[in-house]
């Protein structure tokens, strides 16, 4: 039996309905920092101008963290990191994930079972390019669930539902800094 390679957008194509339900359930938590019943934008604790972000981040980091791009699979060594420690947002150093929550998924991005409490916001991330993966019209979905840093708003990756593994955070290594445990 052979299997075809699977990438994060293809996985999302088959699981977007459950991810959308997850986002709807998590919406009150994601909006906790915004005043109720107002149209005021969410205010991040760490803010920079576009020029400051460009100076602070390398060009590849800027494209992923600030423009919502996705790194190529297996292009960042954190996808296969198994050391004990913490994963922080590259944009503001907020600790997002702990190594014990990292899942061994051989797809080329860092997968986590959960984030630390009150660190990740969920949002809707535009229409995925499903046509490029040959999904039939009835399996196409209008949007994906995007994970952002709660403190600076940087794009981290996406929330996926992956078979028996359940719901996982599929995170760009480019969005993270690894801090080894001191034992």
Q: Annotated catalytic residue: which of 88, 89, 92, 170?
A: 170
For the stretch 73-110, what's the b/e string if a residue is b when 16 or more beta carbons lie within 10 angstroms of its beta carbon? eeebebbebeeebbbbbbbbebebbbbebbeebebbbb
Residue 110 CA to residue 96 CA, distance in Å, equals 12
Residue 111 CA to residue 101 CA, distance in Å, equals 8
Residue 128 CA to residue 20 CA, distance in Å, equals 14
Edge-to-edge order in the sheet of strand 120-125: 102-103, 110-112, 166-171, 155-162, 144-149, 120-125
The H or E element spanning position 53 is helix 50-56
Beta bridge partners of 13: none
Instruction: Based on the residue annotation, tell me whether 89 is a catalytic residue of this protein.
Output: no
Give me the active site residues, please.
Answer: 170
């Amino acid at each position: 039996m052979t299997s075809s390679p699977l990438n994060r957008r293809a996985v999302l194509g088959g699981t977007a309905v459950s991810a959308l339900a997850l986002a709807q359930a998590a919406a009150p938590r994601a909006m906790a920092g915004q005043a109720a019943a107002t149209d005021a934008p969410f205010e991040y604790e760490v803010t920079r101008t576009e020029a400051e972000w460009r100076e602070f981040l390398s060009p590849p980091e800027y494209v992923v963290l600030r423009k919502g791009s996705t790194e190529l699979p297996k292009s960042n060594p954190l996808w296969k990191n198994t050391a004990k420690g913490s994963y922080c947002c590259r944009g503001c150093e907020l600790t997002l994930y702990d190594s014990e929550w990292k899942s061994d998924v051989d797809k080329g991005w860092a997968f986590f079972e959960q984030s630390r409490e009150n660190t990740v916001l969920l949002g809707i991330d535009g229409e995925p390019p499903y046509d490029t993966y040959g999904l039939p019209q009835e399996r196409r979905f209008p949007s994906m669930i995007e994970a952002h840093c709660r403190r600076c708003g940087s794009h981290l990756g996406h929330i996926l539902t992956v078979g028996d593994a359940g719901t996982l955070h599929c995170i760009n290594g480019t969005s993270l800094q690894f801090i080894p445990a001191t034992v």
